[in-house]
Structure 1
Amino acid sequence: MTTIGNSDLSVFPLALGGNVFGWTADRDASFAILDAFVEGGGNFVDTADSYSAWAPGHSGGESETIIGEWLAARSRPEVVVATKVSQHPDFRGLSAANVRAAAEASLKRLGVDAIDLYYAHFDDEETPLDETVGAFGQLVSDGLVRHVAVSNYSAERIQEWLRIADETGVARPVAIQPHYNLVHRNDVEESIAPLAQRENLGLVPYFALAKGFLTGKYRSTDAAGHDSPRAEGAAVYATPQGLQIIDTLERIGDAHGASIAATALAWLRAQPTVVAPIASASRLEQVPALLEGGRLELTADEVAELTRVSTWTPEA
């Protein structure tokens, strides 16, 4: 187990992504995946109020609803649930009134008294940041949220959030959720990770498996033949360097009797301030690799080799 930043949240070092629940995994499949994750030692589930509003016939909140039904059916197991606000069709943006209304709607869907970790999903530059910071702080003061976090924010805006929180005496964020993996490193490593390290914030990276590319499933930039909704997004990484990363993951994983996916997650976990990468499973048989990714420990030389082979220098 590991602790998120300076919070009291003790979590398994791999978060189960809830973006698929009610989308590519129906209610029964979602329940089975959640059961297997918890039975395997997992206790950290990540979702958002907007999941899965993008799917035809959906309006948002489907993932939270399924997680809430599962929590109720399992007599509320000791699971840390993170959710987010700003993208639900009915609750867009981060005005104080919207943050409050969205949080109350999430609480109702999840069937819990308090949200363990509540993210500002995307920055809302149309709302004064001090208004947003105050709204999140009030949720903590009122006991509706245990801890605050930010997702998809620049380092500059995170630093400003921290300044406002400190000056007004409200709860500071304890976590940052950035897009970070072996084929998408530079933005985080150059600005977000140093800030997280300096301010004792935990990184909870999303797209930890690069939309499935880092499972080794996509060896061509041609997405044809793959039925995953993310196939096209994953296949773009199948460049010569991307395939070299996969080959290296496969060789290192084989030395541990581990999958490519688990090895990619283990590399991410080894990076400074990373507490728990997020990875989702649409099928029950995918869960063991995720759990393995939360336990596999690579050697320093293996981490260094993967870091070297995945280093990308922009053209001048």
Structure 2
Amino acid sequence: MAKIGSSDIDIFRLSLGGNPFGWTADEATSFEILDAFAESGANFIDTSDSYTASAPGNSGGESETIIGKWITDRGLRDDIVVATKVGSHPDFKGLKAETIAAAADASLRRLHADRIDLYYAHFDDPSTPLEETLEALNALVESGKVRYLGISNYTPERVREWLRITEENGYARPIALQPHYNLVHRKSYEPELAKIATDNNISVFPYFALASGFLTGKYRTRADIDGSPRERITASYFSDAGLAVVDAIAEIAENHTCEMSTVALAWLLTRPGITAPIASVSRVEQLPALLDAPDLVLTSDELDLLEQVSAAVGA
């Protein structure tokens, strides 16, 4: 277990991504996954009010709705930590003060909750002054609707500005940062965001931790992703250098008699500032490999190999 930043929240060192719920996992399958996750002793779920509005027939908020129903049905409100995000729901685009207030209330209704444990600004909104956004988010903390705040998909410059405004106005400090970060995509986090996070005791929760399945060995050729729900995202990882990373992960996984996803997540847990990677599954049988990651100890030679092949990707 680990604490999120300077908060009093203890979490398991793997965060379950909620984006498949109501998309590639229906409600019954989602409940099965969530049951197994909780029964393992894990407790941190990451979602967004926008998951997954882009799927046919969806309008946004499906993941929150499923998570809220599950927590209520199982009586686990005080045992499960839920992070969600604001700014991307089709009905609540952007980060103006009134949008944030309305979106938070909508998330609370879907989650069947009286508070949100961790609330991220999902994407920067250059059209809204950051001061307005932070004042509105701070008001949610002061009202008790939100316990803690996080930052997702912001540039290092904007994170530094966020911290400055927070300090100058006495607003609630962010305790979490969510960047795109994995073995074949390092540039969004290294080196600037990593230094900001470690210097300011901000916990980091990388998304696309498994590169949308690419680092699991599931896709070895472009033909493997044709027609996949994640085709658009996964295609960006394909290159000779990227496939060399996959080969190295496969070799290490064989040495440890474990799944490739376990290795990829274990590597993230060795990186500066990382508290827990975010990873998702669409079937319950995929879950144990994720939950094994915090216990896997990679050797120095294995870490050197991953550093070498990952650096060659240049992404």
User: Which residue in 1 is equivalent to 2:123?
Assistant: 122
User: Which residue in 1 is equivalent to 2:34?
Assistant: 34
> Could you tell me whether the CA contact under 8 Å between 1:222 and 1:235 is conserved in 2?
no
> Could you tell me whether the CA contact under 8 Å between 1:204 and 1:276 is conserved in 2?
yes
Secondary structure at 2:5's aligned position in 1? coil
Secondary structure at 1:159's aligned position in 2? helix
TM-score by length of 2: 0.96
Establish whether residue 230 from structure 1 lines up as the match of residue 233 from structure 2: no
Deviation digits for residues 122-141 of structure 1, max 9, x if unmatched? 00011110011111111111
> Could you tell me whether the CA contact under 8 Å between 1:218 and 1:235 is conserved in 2?
no
Distance 1:168 1:279, change over 3 A: same
Give runs of aligned pairs for residues 149-160 of structure 1, distance below 5 A. 149-160=150-161
User: Which residue in 1 is equivalent to 2:3?
Assistant: 3
User: Which residue in 2 is equivalent to 1:304?
Assistant: 304
My pick for the range that moved more, 157-166 or 232-241, is 232-241
Distance 1:294 1:90 in 2: 38
Secondary structure at 2:149's aligned position in 1? strand
Aligned length: 314
Distance 1:141 1:239, change over 3 A: same
Give runs of aligned pairs for residues 1-316 of structure 1, distance below 5 A. 1-77=1-77, 78-223=79-224, 228-312=228-312
Secondary structure at 1:20's aligned position in 2? coil
> Could you tell me whether the CA contact under 8 Å between 1:100 and 1:135 is conserved in 2?
yes
> Could you tell me whether the CA contact under 8 Å between 2:140 and 2:146 is conserved in 1?
yes
> Could you tell me whether the CA contact under 8 Å between 2:241 and 2:313 is conserved in 1?
no
Distance 1:232 1:187 in 2: 19
Secondary structure at 1:187's aligned position in 2? coil
> Could you tell me whether the CA contact under 8 Å between 1:32 and 1:284 is conserved in 2?
yes
Task: Name the aligned partner's letter for residue 13 of structure 2.
Answer: P
Q: CA deviation at 1:233?
A: 2.9
Structure 1's unaligned 5+ residue stretches are: none
Divergent runs of 4+, >3 A: 312-315
Q: CA deviation at 1:227?
A: 5.2
Q: CA deviation at 1:232?
A: 4.6
TM-score by length of 1: 0.96
Secondary structure at 1:83's aligned position in 2? strand
Secondary structure at 1:109's aligned position in 2? helix
Distance 1:247 1:303 in 2: 14
Distance 2:67 2:93 in 1: 22
Distance 2:68 2:57 in 1: 20
Of all paired residues, the percent bearing the same amino acid is 55
> Could you tell me whether the CA contact under 8 Å between 1:186 and 1:312 is conserved in 2?
no
Q: CA deviation at 1:61?
A: 0.7
Q: CA deviation at 1:3?
A: 1.3
Structure 2's unaligned 5+ residue stretches are: none
> Could you tell me whether the CA contact under 8 Å between 1:221 and 1:239 is conserved in 2?
no
Distance 2:308 2:277 in 1: 20
> Could you tell me whether the CA contact under 8 Å between 2:184 and 2:211 is conserved in 1?
yes
Distance 1:9 1:138 in 2: 20
> Could you tell me whether the CA contact under 8 Å between 2:14 and 2:279 is conserved in 1?
yes
Distance 1:187 1:233 in 2: 15
Q: CA deviation at 1:193?
A: 0.6
Q: CA deviation at 1:235?
A: 4.2
Task: Name the aligned partner's letter for residue 143 of structure 1.
Answer: G
> Could you tell me whether the CA contact under 8 Å between 2:184 and 2:313 is conserved in 1?
no
Deviation digits for residues 163-182 of structure 1, max 9, x if unmatched? 11111111011111000000
> Could you tell me whether the CA contact under 8 Å between 1:221 and 1:236 is conserved in 2?
no
Task: Name the aligned partner's letter for residue 66 of structure 2.
Answer: I
Secondary structure at 1:311's aligned position in 2? helix
Q: CA RMSD in A?
A: 1.5
My pick for the range that moved more, 80-89 or 305-314, is 305-314
Distance 1:41 1:72 in 2: 18
My pick for the range that moved more, 232-241 or 20-29, is 232-241
Secondary structure at 1:189's aligned position in 2? coil
Distance 1:255 1:262 in 2: 12
Task: Name the aligned partner's letter for residue 242 of structure 1.
Answer: G
